[in-house]
Structure 1
Amino acid sequence: MKRVRRLLAAIASLALTAALLTLGASPAAAAPLSAAGEGHGTCTATTPGSKLARQGTAWICVKERPITAADLARIRAHTAAVAGVAAAPRDGIDPGDDPDASPEALCTSEKHQDVVSNRHNYCMRHGITYVLVNPGGRNGTADLVVTARSALDPNSVTWKEHIAVYAEKYDGVSVVRLALSSSCTACLPGPPAWGGGAIELRAGAEDDTGELSYETTTRGGAERSRSMIAYQSQTESPDADYPVITNGQWAGPSVACDGVVGGSPGCIASDNLARVTFSKSDSKYAASAVAYEWAQNHLSDNSVMGTAQRPFTRDSDEARRRSRNYYTCKAPPKPFVADPTVVNDECDEFPFARTKEGGTLGSLCAEITPRYVGGGAWRVDVVRDEPVAPCIRAHVPSDQNQAAGGRLGRQVQSERVRDGEAYQVVITP
């Protein structure tokens, strides 16, 4: 009886296919979505009587998978071979922990996540397993890896992603076609990759010619919009006599855009703390940089600020800046007194007056004088050492103090730090 029922079901299926063909529908169009491939990802049933069906394939599925060590080795080998591409980790630091890592380097991060980013760059890495499934299990598999990397311009409302696809292990599948597009919130996506067409990849093949583009809809206002990018893939095997397209989708990076910082709107990668850097080798503000470094290294654990753990909070209000500067540098009982051995001596404070953390009464601050001793070396003389000081006042030349303030203002704009947003201060050699 069971054999009779199966025979009748097969006859009915063939009759339905013949009827659809009579009406002008292709067998591929007749193939319904199937839940029978549960556990294999998103599946599409093959057409009864088709070449794949005759070979035993009942469904074609795509399944999302995490990046593997083999994937990363392939990505590293590819990026290292590209002239002028900075893909290697710096000083043994994983690129995912390097705030200055290039998009290419971010693609090689060993972090177990699809998207790796810093404030201005990101890389999305995603694995796709293409599976031919029969009722008893797998008939064939093909592994693909897709990467999308981008460098964001903080003064632009548009950005592009460079797409690379790697064909990994193939088993029972000779070739796979892949088409890729994207969508996003609060932004306008450009056309699909490869002009809307599909690339054809065999085992071991690579293709880095794809591109996706975006334009934020944010142009002004005090709010920062967040554009969430999602990717859509279409895969098919040319081994089939009728194309069976299987769709996949996954989440990508988040890009934040605003029109309130600086003179033009722009974008950054979301969820990355802003960094303001000062170099001790820059003669324009070196004394200030040395003073800030001393503060971060010598204030008590409970008072160290401007770090990733205890960042500063930007406050651009000019009246409050003047008030904070007064309390730290000029207010009694111990106002700042210029040192005649420092040319055009001026009070430089840390925390900055343009932060909500600034404005501590100067009599509570430690007071220091950075002095250049030659050969790129500095010493710091402690003028007044206050126990558990929450701040410092530094004796620095007026031009260096002003240059440090200018440096802070420019980086606030290039990092797109809004009022009330946190940032850290990093001192470099």
Structure 2
Amino acid sequence: MTVNTYGRRLITAAASIATVASLALAGTTSARADDDAPPSPGPLLGTIAPSAPADGDLTPAEPLDASSSCTAVAPDRENGDATTECVEMTPAAALAGAPAIADRATPSGATTCVAKPGYFQHTRFNSCLTGGRITYTLRDNKGEAVGTGIIVVGDSASLSQTSTTWRETETVSVAEVTGRLKSLNIAFDVSCDGGCKATGPSPWAGARTLTAGGTASGSVTFSTPVGKGRDTLVTVGHHLYVTSTGAIPTQPSTGWSSPDKVRCDDAVGKFPGCVYPDRRADLDLSLSRYGAAAATYAWAEKNMSDHWGSSGNPLQRLADLAGGESHRASTCGAKSTAPFVPKPASVVPDDSCDEYPFAATVQGGRNGGLCAEVVPLRENGVWKFYEADPKRPVTHDEPCVRAHVPLQVNSAAGGAVGAFPAASRVLEGEKYTVTITA
């Protein structure tokens, strides 16, 4: 890839090459205008075959943990001989056999949440929980249940790539009450660590009295200042306070912590920001926009033995400018033992050297003389790959790929790669995947 800054090769590459589904793409800038077959540059190595889309946006769902607590209550006119109230968080695994309940606790900001009831779902910048089930039980002095309530909880959060302050929406619904219970009083607050402050810790003031079908919802705010060049991990805690009748809850009855930590940093880009680092960053490049460059990465990830940029072998960001330039010189420049020789314009217009893995990765910087050298050409709507140097036959076991790519798309792809670390907050040495789409 022709890059003026190492950042153009900082691809936090690689998940699984998803959806190269429609290869009949008209008019890419890297193809010849008439899309006719050119003079063959060498033996045909293969084509890019369509593959099933990868589930690139979502991490495996993580279950809500079980918890329970019981406290004494003073008998009163409404509760009679009731002496104990218990609050139990139902483990997600038990929800499959639980009676169906109305889930009104889907936060309004969680429109993209697809988690099963009682599970968390995370992407790089978003998280949600829906259908967390809590049971409130009022017991008499014999230990018998005299009233029950089912509570459903949910939350959602959206982090920012350019801010270390974020908001989370909390929603609590009372699905049903039985026996002596007519309503439940519910309060809510949050906490955080790692230098974070819950600047608006309660989604609503005091306790809300909710009857069956009632819902309380609101937002909380977190702020995490972080020093220049530094990063910190934050665990977010949620606390629910539940009582019956007119009592005011004072101690948490139950609660949960988000399973994925938030990472806030001021170590990449112009502004600090936050991500869920357990959700690996993914660089998404399309064939329709980046032509032969994107096709090269797709072919290399699919066909080379190391499968760089895939979920099984992600790339790692190299942030050092000098290191990136040195890597570039080793693969495409003066340090290569095999100089890059451009193809005639009839084969590749305005030919330039594009390397994969990218120069600004830990895996980049291999000697260009050891690379598989290929020519990607779009013919009749299909990307075909030809061997470029008969003196160096392609074995698919080479430690790198050099491709003959028109300068225009090489530079465009380099720009996308350069912008990627800041956009996805990829730190030095952090792993990432690359996805090539149609």
Same fold (TM over 0.5): yes
Q: Give the equivalent residue in structure 1 for 2:183.
A: 175
Task: Please give the alpha-carbon distance, in whole angstroms, between the structure 2 residues aligned to 1:293 and 1:71.
Answer: 47
CA contact (8 A) 1:62 1:246 kept: no
Aligned to 1:381: 386
Separation in 1, partners of 2:67, 2:433: 45
Counterpart in the other structure of 2:338:
334
Number of positions where the alignment pairs a residue of Structure 1 with one of Structure 2: 357
Deviation at 1:175, TM superposition (A): 1.3
- Pick closer, same or farther for the CA change 1:254–1:370 going to 2, 3 Å: same
Cα-Cα RMSD = 2.6
Comparing 129-138 with 411-420, greater Cα deviation is found at 129-138
Normalised to the residue count of structure 1, the TM-score between the two structures is 0.76
State the 1:420 CA deviation: 1.2
Q: Which has the higher helix share?
A: 1
Q: Which of 260, 267, 278 does residue 260 from structure 1 map onto?
A: 267
Aligned to 1:421: 430
Aligned residue for 2:388, secondary structure, equals strand
Q: For 1:338-353, list aligned pairs within 5 A.
A: 338-340=342-344, 341-353=347-359
1:308 to 308, 311, 332: 311
Q: Which residue of 2 aligns with 1:196?
A: 205
Q: 1:112 to 1:299 in 2, by over 3 A?
A: farther
The letter for the 1-side match of 2:326 is: S
SS in 1 for 2:288: coil
After superposition, give the CA deviation of every residue in 1:118-165 in whole Å (9 maximum; x if it has no partner): 111001343322111233332222121211101111111211112222
In structure 1, the residue matched to 2:326 is 323
Is the 2:263–2:277 contact (alpha carbons within 8 Å) kept by the matching residues of 1? yes
Task: Note the alpha carbon deviations across 1:3-29, whole angstroms, 9 max, x for none.
Answer: xxxxxxxxxxxxxxxxxxxxxxxxxxx
Alpha-carbon distance between aligned partners in 1 of 2:315 and 2:84, rounded to the nearest angstrom: 56
| 1:382-411 superposed Cα distances (whole Å, 9 cap, x missing partner) | 325422122211111112112111101211
How far apart are the structure 1 equivalents of 2:309 and 2:67? 48
Equivalent residue for 1:44?
Answer: 71
Report the TM-score, using the length of structure 2 for normalisation.
Answer: 0.75
| Residue of 282, 288, 291 corresponding to 2:293 | 288
- Which residue is 1:407 aligned to? 416
What is the distance in 2 between the residues matched to 1:72 and 1:136?
Answer: 26
Match of 2:90 among 45, 62, 65: 65
Higher RCO (CA-CA < 8 Å; seq separation 6+): 2
- Whether the 8 Å CA contact 1:227–1:256 is kept in 2: the answer is yes
Pair 1:160-2:167 in alignment? yes
Corresponding letter in the other structure for 2:155: A
CA distance, structure 2, for counterparts of residue 367 and residue 262 of structure 1: 34
1:215 to 208, 223, 227: 223
Contact (CA 8 Å) 2:357, 2:401: kept in 1 or not? yes
Return the match for 2:147 from 140, 161, 165: 140
User: Whole-Å Cα distance in 1 between the matches of residues 190 and 99 of structure 2?
Assistant: 22
What is the letter of the counterpart of residue 266 of structure 1? Answer: G
Amino acid at match of 1:156: S
Give, in angstroms, the shift of residue 243 of structure 1. 4.8
Judged with a 3 Å threshold, the aligned counterparts in structure 2 of structure 1 residues 40 and 174 are, in CA distance, closer, same or farther, namely farther
Counterpart position of 2:302: 297
Aligned to 1:366: 372
CA distance in 2, matches of 1:401, 1:40: 54
Cα drift, residue 64 of structure 1: 1.8
Q: Deviations over 1:241-266 (max 9, x none)?
A: x5565522321252110011100100
SS of residue matched to 1:128:
strand
Distance 2:307 2:117 in 1: 29
Distance between the aligned counterparts of 2:111 and 2:165, measured in 1?
Answer: 19
Distance 1:191 1:318, change over 3 A: closer
Match of 2:135 among 129, 132, 149: 129
In structure 2, do the counterparts of structure 1 residues 305 and 332 end up closer, same or farther at CA, with 3 Å as the change threshold? closer
3-state secondary structure, aligned to 2:235: strand
CA contact (8 A) 2:170 2:203 kept: no
C-alpha offsets along residues 79-119 of structure 1, whole Å, 9 cap, x if unaligned?
A: 69x7xx7xxxxxxxxxxxxxxxxx4333x313864x32111
Partners of 2:200 and 2:329 in 1: CA distance: 55
Is contact 1:364–1:386 with CA below 8 Å preserved after alignment? no
Q: Secondary structure at the match of 1:140?
A: strand
TM-aligned CA distance change 1:409 to 1:72, over 3 Å: farther
Deviation at 1:364, TM superposition (A): 2.0
Contact between 2:187 and 2:249, CA under 8 Å: does it hold in 1?
Answer: no
User: What's the CA shift for 1:203?
Assistant: 2.4
**CA distance change for structure 1 residues 321 and 244 in 2, over 3 Å: closer, same or farther?**
closer
1-structure distance, mates of 2:319, 2:364: 12
Candidates 396, 400, 403, aligned match of 1:394 = 403
Distance verdict in 2 for CA 1:157–1:201, change over 3 Å: same
Task: Tell me the CA shift for residue 72 of structure 1.
Answer: 9.2
Residue pairs, 1:15-54, within 5 angstroms: 41-48=68-75, 50-51=76-77, 54=80
CA distance in 1, matches of 2:256, 2:163: 26
**Partner AA of 1:51 in structure 2:** R
In structure 2, C-alpha distance between the alignment counterparts of 1:270 and 1:143, rounded to whole Å: 34
